[in-house]
Every structure is written in C-alpha cells, then in structure tokens.
Chain A
Amino acid sequence: MRVRNAKLLFSELKLWTSGRSSWMNRLHDGVSRCGKASFSSCSPKVCVVGSGPAGFYTAQHLIKARQDAEVDILERLPVPFGLVRFGVAPDHPEVKNVINTFTQTAQHPRCSFYGNVNVGKDVSIGELQQAYHAVVLSYGAEGNRSMGVPGEDLPGVYSAKDFVGWYNGLPSCRELQPDLSCETAVILGQGNVALDVARVLLSPINILKNTDITQPALDSLAKSRIRRVLIVGRRGPVQVACTIKELREMVNLPGTTPEMVAADFQGVAEALKDLPRPRKRLTELMLKTALETPGEKEQERRSKASRVWGLRFFRSPIEVLSDPGHHKVAGIRLAVNRVEGSGEGARAVLTGKVEEVSCGLVISSIGYRSLPIDPLVPFDSHKAIIPNTVGRVHQAPGLYCSGWVKTGPTGVIATTMNNSFDTARSLVEDMDSGSLDVSSAKPGSQFITALLENRGVKPVTFSDWEKINSVEVRRGEVNGKPREKVLTVEEMLQLARA
C-alpha cells in the first residue's frame, strides 16, 4: 500500500512538469491493471539475455514504459556491460559514461542482474520461457567472420575480436599474448574496430598508460617494435566503413604520420559532390590527408613522427604467407580489385593482379558474427541474426531480440540504443494489446534461481559486481588508471564472494 501511495504522489509531482501524457497513461495502466504498481505476482516478468548496451537499453525502456514490469538481466560473465567493457577502446573513456545510466537501471527496484549464468548451458531458453512472460535475446555477436584463406591459422594471425578482447581484459583472450616484435602489421578491414586496433598499436605509451587497458597489454605495447600499420579494404575510399571521428583520431595521433597511395584516390574528388554529408566529410578528410601538402606546422609534426599508418584500398587477402620454417607470419598475398558500381552498393571485382606485403602481424577485422543460442530460437545462419520484425522473433511468441543479434554487428552505441528502445516498445505494445498474455502469474527469478542452485550455479548479483568494481578502481588508482581490470573469471568470482 505504501508503494502505491508513493507512486501516486510521484505521478502528481510529475504532472507539474507537463508534456508527458503518454508516460502518464502508461503509469495509470500499470496501476489499474494489477491494483498496485509493482512487486505483484501478476506483474509482467521479462528476462533479458546479455548485459551489454542492448540488454541494458532494452531493460531501461521496459522499466520506464511499464511501471509494473520486472526485468531480470542474465549475463554469462560475472561482470556486466558487455562490449562497453570489452569492446570500447581504452582511450575512449567518454563512451563508457553510458555505464552510469546502466548502473542506475541495474539498481532500480524492478531490475535484477544475474551474472555468471550461461544461458544455453546453465539454463535453457525453454526454462526461461516457463519462468517469464517474455525473453529478450540481446547476447550480441561473439563469433567473427573468418577470412577463409590459406595460412590464417598461422601464429601471428589474430581476429580483431580476440585482439581487442586481449587489450580490454576479456578473460577468454587473456592467453593471446600477441608477438609485437615485427615492424609492420596488416589489418584487414577498415571499420571502426580496425581503426581502434591501429590506434592502440601506434599510440604513444604515455597516452595508453592512464586508460583502463590491461597491464599485460600495456607492458607488451611498451615493448612493441611495430612501426607501420596498414589498414586494408577490398573496396575504395568512398566505401570505407569507419566513421569520421575514428579517422580524425588517426590523422591527429601524436608521433605518427599518414602514408597513403595517391592512385587509390583517382576520381574520388569528382564523386564528392553527390555524396550525403557524413560520407562527404569523411571522404574529404581522407582526400586531404592523402593528397594535400600539409602546412608548415603539420609538416614539422610529421617529420618528427616515428610511426606510420596507411589506408590501402582495392585489396583482398588471398593467402597469409609464412616464414620458411612455417612458424609464423611473414607476409600476406593480396588480390588487386577494382570496384564495379558506385556508392555503398559497389562491388569489389578481381583484376587478376596480385601483390605481396611483408608483415609479422595480421589482424582480421572483417566483422563480428552472432551465433545461435538454442535450437528453440530461430536463426538465420546466412545473415547471422535472429530473424525478427522490430524485435519480435519470427514464429516464436514471447521471444524478442535487440542489439547486434537483431541487426547484425554494425553501428555505434546510439544505433544500439535506438534499436533496443524499438524492441522494448514492441514488447510493451504486445503487453498492452494482449497479444502477449501477461494475465497469468509467472514465477520469474524465483524459479530460475532455484533451478540454478540445484545445478550448482551461483549467480553474481549487481552488489557482488560492485565489490569487484571497487577492487578494480582501487587497483587502478595506484597506477593512475580509472581501473585495473580483473582478468580471470576465477578471481572475479572470488572477489564477488569475499
């Protein structure tokens, strides 16, 4: 009863701010349906699988839009936030500010976090559907597209996903310890992940040492002998996949100078005028960097640079070459392409010409890939997504999806935020319209925690995570870093249970 009165008082206060009629209607819906605002046995119970941005943004919107909904977020690792922790580059701390909002969501009385729960192994989707009115799959894209060329299993060839996981402290990538003793690294792919990797490889150690990069990665990078990073794409400058912020960071990266091939930019200036503004500005920055004679100050800066980066266009990998003993990478053979068509839809076509580049490190950054989670959940293995319409999983009532498993592994965090809000809106619409039946009581986390206990799985709660968090922050302070990440699941669990 106290809760209800409090909610009504809250709603009166909110009325003064006006302009929120839809929000108010939903609040009253929630109140009238169940007789009280929350914590009711008949409240809609939703389970979100995955605690990255997609999971948290979906939960955030659900909690707000339905004042009676209870949301549980399940996470395989003991620590939350997915790619915000393990994907976002350590020198982009601003992007990680989203964690503050996620933390508020996790601490909301109608939201619970259960880490260390592996959906598909510890608990099945079928069991989740028994316990909850709806299940939202937002488990991301943990696989990666492979190049499919000979030599890609040689030591010295890594997927960008693993390389990023290594410097960001993903427990499964801890053993990677890449050999950085060569002079040239080749990155295949020209998306933002490729540029993140290039930037981390070439950044002065002074810039990295005050970030949350892991200590082993920082030590390795301090000893790195890599002086040249080539970022290779199969199509042309107009099709480059990175966004302008990341390109500008490369252009301005202290201690480095760009090395481009002027011939790659033939006809690009002429194509500029027809491009939409974002693509146009990105292309202009590339053209300026590649072709223009820099001013005096910039010339001086470049002449002092000890490290080099370059974009290489119209090239596809055909074989990773090994040293004579087949012990490690010695180079890469690239097919020379031309582009047919124009704009985003242009296709790379082989010319028959081939060239070789010597290098001791190859990082393939040609895209992440979602994996199927459970035979119950439809999966489009060609597109590597869960087939859906605005987040409603096809032919699977009660199942929803958001984030990269819904759209494919593209977009910045705002993209994921909007697509997650869309999924939450679909789910709320279905509850409101009755097409998702929430009238019968479901046991929610009670059922699942009992089941996990029987199976010997002990979830990590959000307050457990806060213990891990405070240890990480304390360890970081010693070295002037925002945090020193705990690198193994075992230690995370140990700290959670301390």
Chain B
Amino acid sequence: MALAAALRRLAPVALGAFPRRTTAVTLGCGSRLAGTRRLSAGTQPLRSDNKVTIHFINRDGEKVTVKGSSGDTLLDVVINEDLDFDGFGACEGTLACSTCHLIFDEEVYKKLGRVTDEEMDMLDLAYGLTETSRLGCQICLTKSLDGMVARVPESVTDIRQSKDETA
C-alpha cells in the first residue's frame, strides 16, 4: 500500500501529466500565521495509530476517503494525497486567500477549536460562506477528528460577491 501511494504521488510527474504542486510547502499546525514555515510531509511518524480518517466531499458531491497524520493540517492532507480539488490552497497555507474553504457538520465544527480574527477575515471572502466554514490550512488533525466529513463548497458563479475597488 505504501508503494502504491508512493507510485501514485510520483505518477503525475514521471508520466508528464499535470504535476500538481509538488513544490508546495504549507504551514503546519502550531504556526498559524505566515512567517514560520515548515515542511510537514515526511516529518510525521508513520505509525498507523497516528492516522486520522477524513471523508472529503468534492465539488461534484463525491466522497473521497483518505487518511492523514495527527498534526497535519487538512490542506497538508489534500496536497499529500494529491486530491484533485480545483484551485485548492492557492496561497499554500499562508492565510492569504480563501481557496481551502471547507464546510463541516456542526458537531465537527465545534471540535475544531478557536478561529483567529485573521482566519475569519479570509473566510469573509470565501464563496458560499456558512456558519460552520473553516479554512483547511488552519485545521489541525487530532485523533478526536477521526471519521470527520469535510465538504469542499461548490463554486457557483451567481452567488459570488464582488469586492469593488472604488468607494
């Protein structure tokens, strides 16, 4: 299985297909704001008891089930698992965009911890903002989140807000 995962990650690059963000570096948990950065992939222990199962619902409504490591952010998981969510994580986890917006069930949302003003500021620009919206780059995986469902919002043209440059 480990070999399959490694192959899967290598495949797009090796075979000349679209190489998805192989250079991405995201903020890990504990360093919530831009400035300090670390590579989270590869630094986590590979023990299976640290694995957390996440069910993503993609923009087409399909369920994608993957495992992430405790301590990774949800954005790390999307990148590590090479999940194909268009445009997800454009600023690479530096709290400068809202493209890793995810929507949770209320019970899960309550377990996700405090939201900083800076995350709220970026969420305010997210499409399809809900009361239980968070940015994936700010959600740290813990064992208590095992089995959680995270929905990638659809991008729908007509509900978009536009931010005028003029007053």
Contacts and interface: CB of A to CB of B under 8 A. Distances in A.
B21 interface: yes
B160 A418 contact: yes
Question: Counting chain B CB atoms within 10 Å of each CB, which of A21, A98, A192 scores highest?
Answer: A98
B157 A390 contact: yes
Given A10-B11, A13-B11, A421-B155, A240 B87 contact: no
Contacts of A248: 117-118, 121
Contacts of A239: 167
A100 B165 contact: no
The 6 A-B pairs with the shortest beta carbon distances in the complex, nearest first, are A233-B167, A94-B94, A191-B165, A278-B124, A94-B96, A19-B64
A240 B15 CA distance: 49
A13 B90 contact: no
A261 interface: no
A234 B121 contact: no
Nearest to B92: A97
A20 B84 contact: yes
A95 B97 contact: yes
B77 to A, nearest CB: 13
Nearest to A5: B15
B53 interface: no
Contacts of A189: 165-167
Contact of B21 (A14, A101, A145, A366): A101
A248 B15 CA distance: 45
A244 B91 CA distance: 18
Chain B interface residue number, banded? 35 or more
A134 to B, nearest CB: 19
Contacts of A278: 124-125, 129, 161
Interface in B126-167: 126-127, 129, 155, 157, 160-167
A407 B98 CA distance: 20
20 contacts: A9-B11, A9-B15, A17-B83, A19-B63, A94-B92, A97-B91, A97-B94, A97-B96, A190-B166, A192-B165, A241-B167, A243-B121, A245-B121, A245-B125, A277-B124, A281-B120, A366-B165, A414-B127, A421-B86, A422-B157
Nearest to B27: A94
A344 B87 CA distance: 29
B82 to A, nearest CB: 7
A156 B23 CA distance: 44
Given A13-B7, A13-B11, A22 B91 contact: no
Contacts of B82: 17
Contacts of B7: 13
A321 B94 CA distance: 43
A175 to B, nearest CB: 25
B34 interface: yes
Nearest to B19: A104
Given A14-B11, A191-B163, 5 more contacts: A7-B17, A64-B18, A191-B166, A414-B98, A421-B86
Contacts, number: 165
B73 interface: no
Given A64-B18, A95-B91, A245 B127 contact: no
A266 interface: no
A98 B91 contact: yes
Interface in A410-436: 410-415, 417-419, 421-422
Given A19-B63, A414-B99, A421-B87, A63 B165 contact: no
Interface of A: 3, 6-7, 9-10, 13-14, 16-23, 57, 61, 63-64, 67, 92-95, 97-98, 100-101, 104, 107-109, 145, 189-193, 233-235, 239-241, 243-245, 248, 277-278, 281-282, 365-368, 390, 407, 409-415, 417-419, 421-422
A7 B18 CA distance: 11
A190 B164 CA distance: 9
Contacts of B4: 16
Contact of B125 (A100, A233, A235, A412): A412
A415 B162 contact: yes
Interface string B24-65: 100000000010000000000000000000000010101110
Contacts of A145: 166
Contact of A366 (B11, B95, B120, B166): B166
A19 B152 CA distance: 13
A134 B86 CA distance: 22
Question: Counting chain A CB atoms within 10 Å of each CB, which of B4, B82, B87 scores highest?
Answer: B87
A412 B127 CA distance: 12
